[in-house]
Amino acid sequence: MGDMLYTVKTDIGWMAVWADDRNLLGLGLGHQTEPQAVRALAKKCRLLSSDPPWKDRPHAGWQDGLLQRLVDFAAGQRTDFADVPLDLSRLTSFRRRVVEACRGIPFGETATYSQLAVRAGSPQAARAVGTTMAQNWYPIVVPCHRVIGADGTLRGFSAPRGILLKQRLLKLERASEGYPAPSHNV
């Protein structure tokens, strides 16, 4: 089948999913229109084709389950993405460790960039962790929205609406868990 591009409309906007038979290759979220989601993901992941491969509905395989889970997550349902296979072959070993450490941040919780650096085995690399999160090809599945500044503030988020969307994702998770919003205005 090769790699294909899928789209789905959610409560937080259109999402585009780039996947092959075995792995998630990229994900974009929070767009107002389907074409915006496709263009943004193609640019972000530097898809080689000017006309990305497109999978018409109905979808087949593991991608269907992922699309439904993304819809559920955006609707505020507790959703786990730990089993979603990722293609990490384009990442350095440091970035792979950061991605895996980020995937370990529990639903509804946060970690600082420094804490993530420690978890990735590079305690002095908080800035490099920030760069890795800013270039995350798999948002939500690799929950970079759960990574916050050392002072508890929300820092950049590359999706449309930036920090406002990051805040909304954290609120969705906290509400799903029945927790009050955290004190740092999430």
- pLDDT of 57 over the 50 cut: no
Q: What is the pLDDT of residues 20-49, one digit of tens each?
A: 888 999 999 988 999 888 888 887 776 545
User: Would you name the residues annotated as active-site residues?
Assistant: 144
- pLDDT of 11 over the 90 cut: yes
Residue 172: pLDDT band by 50, 70, 90 thresholds?
confident
Specify the CATH number of the domain 93-177.
Answer: 1.10.10.10
The string of DSSP codes covering the chain is ---EEEEEEETTEEEEEEE-SS-EEEEEEEESSHHHHHHHHHHHTT-SSSS--B-PSSP-THHHHHHHHHHHHHTT-----TT--B--TTS-HHHHHHHHHHHTSPTT--EEHHHHHHHTT-TT-HHHHHHHHHT-SSBTTB-GGGEE-TTS------STTHHHHHHHHHHHHHHHHTPPPPTTT-
Q: What is the pTM of this model?
A: 0.84
